[in-house]
Amino acid sequence: MNFNRIAVLGSNSFAGAAFVLKALDDGCDVIGFNRSLEGQEFFLPYKGSLNKSNYKFYQADINKNLIEIIEIIDSFKPEVVVDFAGQGMVAESWENPSQWYTTNIVAKVKLHDLLRKRDFVKKYIRISTPEVYGSQDQLIKESWDLNPSTPYAVSHASIDLSLRAFNKNYSFPVVFTKFANFYGPGQQLYRIIPRTIIYALTGKQLHLHGGGTSIRAFIHSADVSNGIMDAITKGQIGETYHFSPNNFYTIKEVVEIICKELSIDFDDFITLVPDRASKDKAYLMDSNKSRTSFGWNDNVRLIDGINDTVKWVKENLEEINKSSLDYIHKE
């Protein structure tokens, strides 16, 4: 089923901006909401879309401007709402958990309670996270129990459970999606792949937390966007879908790949530091359901995606060097 009118919450986020580009290129009319103003264009790939005139951005915070957001949604009448909004960052969620709960649970419940009364919304795409399952050493199926181990993960697990109840009681049209670690051109500079590339190109030492032994899968933003569009057009309401490559890497291995591509000596480049609090060892999601149900596939190999990101960093290095490479928390 095709939908032509899409609202995107968290449209300035890395994955949000990438999906806006995908939706515009697919011929959709799109509105976007974000608490921050649109930033530099090299972080916003949709600025280069031939259909960018079909996009309208609104600065709005789901904590402070929810009524205004709903009024705009009522005017636009999107058939689909894709929701990237929320407090991110795992380690930082320990510093003030209530902020994560206020945004990722309380504000979202208020949002969902208003959206359920809008019968023009045919699908709400929930962008969740494998962190809700906790650390696992085997492939995770969509049916697994939630076992979060950080305030960040607790906030996501809580709203997932709330949405299950809304779906059961109100027939709220939620489709749950969970993705492996995002990466690609335009990603926040403090994330491991762009940060490693930037440090390697500028001669800085990289701190490798816990020796980089955590195991992850990495999914390119183009494959994320394709997965979300599949969930919109083919996803069954109330169902959960995983999107992950079948290849898993330690963080150390990813850094080593980048070092090799940039001809940097790994041992000279990294400094070992203690791991972050309650960092989960591994998330290994089984994505067979999305592959068989949608025909989805991760088309971008990690080595190609890394080189794609290297190219983006090199092209924008002058502006990147003027930007902060550290996460800046916003309440």
What's the pLDDT tens digit per position in 183-200? 999 999 999 999 999 999
Query: At residue 327, does pLDDT exceed 90?
Result: no
Domain spanning 5-182+218-243: CATH 3.40.50.720: yes
9 - beta bridge partners? 33, 83
The predicted pLDDT at position 9 comes to: 98
Neighbours of 144 (CB within 10 A): 17
CA angle at residue 307 from 305 to 313, to 5 degrees? 105
pLDDT on residue 138 = 86
Model confidence band, residue 240 (pLDDT cutoffs 50, 70, 90): very high
Please check whether residue 145 is in contact with residue 170, taking contact to mean a CB–CB distance below 8 angstroms. Answer: no
User: Sorting pLDDT into bands at 50, 70 and 90, what band is 279?
Assistant: low
In sequence order, what are the beta bridge partners of 8? Answer: 32, 82
Can you tell me the distance from the alpha carbon of 130 to that of 285, in angstroms, rounded to the nearest whole number? 7
> How confident is the model over 41-79, as pLDDT tens digits?
999 999 999 999 999 999 999 999 999 999 999 999 999
One-letter identity of residue 54: N
Distance, CA of 139 to CA of 76 (rounded, Å): 41
Indicate the residue type of 281. K
- Categorize the per-residue pLDDT at 180 as very low, low, confident or very high, splitting at 50, 70 and 90: very high
Tell me the pTM. Answer: 0.95
3-class DSSP assignment, residue 25: helix
Give the pLDDT score at 35.
94
| Helix/strand/coil for 55 | strand
- Structure confidence at residue 276 (pLDDT): 66
End-to-end CA distance of the chain: 38
Residue range 22-30: mean pLDDT, rounded: 98
Q: What confidence tier does 328 reach under pLDDT thresholds 50, 70, 90?
A: low
